[in-house]
Amino acid sequence: MLISFNDTAKKLSEDKEVLDSYREQEPKYALIRSLIRARINSGLSQEELAKRMHTSQSSIARLEGGGQLPSINTIFKYAKATNTVPIISFIDSKAAAVSL
């Protein structure tokens, strides 16, 4: 018997260990979503962005896939290449947990 994705997601969302893990990873995925959004809003492909950053398309794919977290220097290079400005802030982890 196959279990639907929605049923599986619902079951996992009720598991405290899964929720804790998700909350721990959410800032990483928020950064990744921001990177992808900046590139897409700039109308660039991964290859075009890579050329602007003097790197490879596969490096951009790893950044956007979460396989490699960017250094602060890479974030600023990415921003310059996409004509954006990064804004980095820190908030209390308890406040962040409420918003997830």
pLDDT tens digit sequence for 72-82: 999 999 999 99
| Domain limits, the chain | 28-99
- Architecture of 28-99 per CATH? Orthogonal Bundle (1.10)
The predicted structure's pLDDT at residue 97: 61
The predicted structure's pLDDT at residue 26: 86
Neighbours of 82 (CB within 10 A): 21
* pLDDT (tens digit per residue) in 6-16: 888 888 888 88
Cβ atoms of residues 66 and 29 within 8 Å: yes
User: Mean pLDDT: which of 31-35, 66-70, 93-97 is highest?
Assistant: 31-35
Cβ atoms of residues 49 and 84 within 8 Å: no
Amino acid identity of residue 99, one-letter, is S
Neighbours of 93 (CB within 10 A): 10
